Homo-oligomer: A and B are copies of this chain.
Amino acid sequence: MFRTAELGQKIPKSEYRQREPVLRQELLEAQANLVEAGEFPVIVLCAGVDGAGKGETVNLLNEWMDPRLLLTRAYDKPSEEEQERPEYWRFWRDLPPKGRIGLYQYAWYAGPVHDRLYEKDSAATFDDRLMRCHAFEEALTEGGALIIKFWLHLSRAEQKKSFKKLEKDPLTKWRVTRQDWDHWRRYDEIEAVVERAIMRTSTGRAPWNIVEGVDPNYRSLTVGTTIRDAIRKHADEFSARQKLREVLASPPPATDPGEPSPATVLSGLDMSLTLSRKDYREQLGEWQGKLNRLHRKALKKKLSTILLFEGPDAAGKGGAIRRITAALDARHYEVIPIAAPTDEERAQHYLWRFWRQLSRAGRVTIFDRSWYGRVLVERVEGFAAEDEWRRAYAEINEFEEQLTEHGILLVKYWVHIDSEEQLERFKARELIPYKSWKLTGEDWRNREKSDAYGQAVNDIVEHTSMQAAPWTIVEGNDKHFARIKVLKTLCNRLEAVLKNGGKD
């Protein structure tokens, strides 16, 4: 498949001198338009055969464009910091915000290709990991990003020539390593693995561009014009797609009003469950003590825990969280309240703000509201278009799978209270927004919203309950009962995982 990059493409110096300044001007303009519109990020990924000019290309683009608006990253073996998080943590962390261009070398492809070659991952495992590259890129492009991938190619003979030439010059001799020659000897084997990677991840939205790396003039102009054209085209399409989204966001066709809303996981709850004050006091101490012991074990085994709490306002999420943290050492946990995103977060994919919060090994991270906002409030209030929140279930499963595969224990709670109890609590807090709420509790609009939330929660439980990441629904009308159920669930999951040597 690399034949198209072994044609001996060349651009003479005179032509290059003529075209280069024009192209640089156009690239700067494209970059300026991109920043001004601030609509989408651009991800440029450079990979290729050793000696084909990956590094040179990245340097050149930094020279041609405004480097202050570029984000350039190369990745080495994961650091200790990085190893304590899932593989994609560092890639998410380094994504460019809307309007910016990120320049990467190899990045998420390095691991799968390396491990197939050196660690002898099976073909099926390799394919699985390539699917993860694909899913990552798909989540980004679906979120509006433009992804441009380059594979710079040299034939086996040209690679040898390139190394020899570098070795001849005392100033560049050091650049050719023993590993380079080792790779050259394994050329065919490596090519087969790379070919598979490219084939599996070259999609309509994020295709690979194979570029002949022999002639620097040809390589540079080809990469430059490809980026220029892709940005122009994406900008045009972006507005067209936005318009489509608006059309699709129109409400679904009205259904027969004679059809009552079906039962949901919430409507089936026994909201009368209670725990007496005396029993509560007793059990609280007991479970907190147990949690403390279990967490110290987890810390030793570097087992991280992520808890997340969702539920209506005033359901008692905060109270339940405080009963957990009371049992932990303050150095080992973090509570992250999720409110409206910051400007910086708004300029990124909606999952970015959660990826950045993943803590080091052994810690407990507690999210007070979470990534489920996408399929709860954003869905019900219409902030996300239907295609966006429908897609989100798969994106969330992919995210959570990366957490649990990395060995993180993930515990998800929906703490529930019914409308009557909620009203009581608002009253008690003297927080009732009198204007929009009808105190009768019979207000039709209000009931409709609560139906919509019920349906949304039902869909969440249906679509995002992977075996390693189940939902716990907590009957929250009685705070005592709720808090104990929360603690007990956490202790049981922790205990099971620790028994299992860190596997859920």
Contacts and interface: CB of A to CB of B under 8 A. Distances in A.
Given A1-B462, A9-B263, A258-B18, A467 B195 contact: yes
A462 B244 contact: no
Contacts of A221: 259
Place the interface of chain A in its size category.
35 or more
Interface string A214-230: 00001001100100010
Nearest to A267: B7
Contacts of A9: 262-263
Interface string A303-336: 0000000000000000000000000000000000
B265 A253 contact: no
Interface in A371-412: 387, 390-391, 393-394, 397
Most buried by B among A1, A229, A461: A1
| Chain A interface helix/strand/loop/mixed | helix
A99 B487 CA distance: 54
A250 B236 CA distance: 10
Contact of A124 (B3, B125, B237, B243): B125
A391 B240 CA distance: 19
B204 A268 contact: no
A390 B233 CA distance: 14
A199 B393 CA distance: 9
Contacts of A461: 1, 3-4
This chain: how many copies in the complex?
Answer: 2
B240 A253 contact: no
A232 interface: yes
B253 A229 contact: yes
Contacts of A393: 202, 204, 207
A1 B465 CA distance: 5
A77 to B, nearest CB: 24
Given A199-B466, A233-B253, A467-B192, A248 B258 contact: no
A16 B245 CA distance: 37
11 contacts: A3-B465, A3-B471, A4-B458, A9-B262, A19-B256, A124-B125, A127-B131, A195-B466, A202-B394, A204-B387, A218-B262
Report, nearest first, the 5 A-B pairs whose CB atoms are least far apart.
A124-B124, A1-B465, A204-B391, A204-B390, A240-B247
Given A4-B461, A203-B391, A225-B259, 4 more contacts: A7-B263, A7-B265, A204-B393, A221-B259
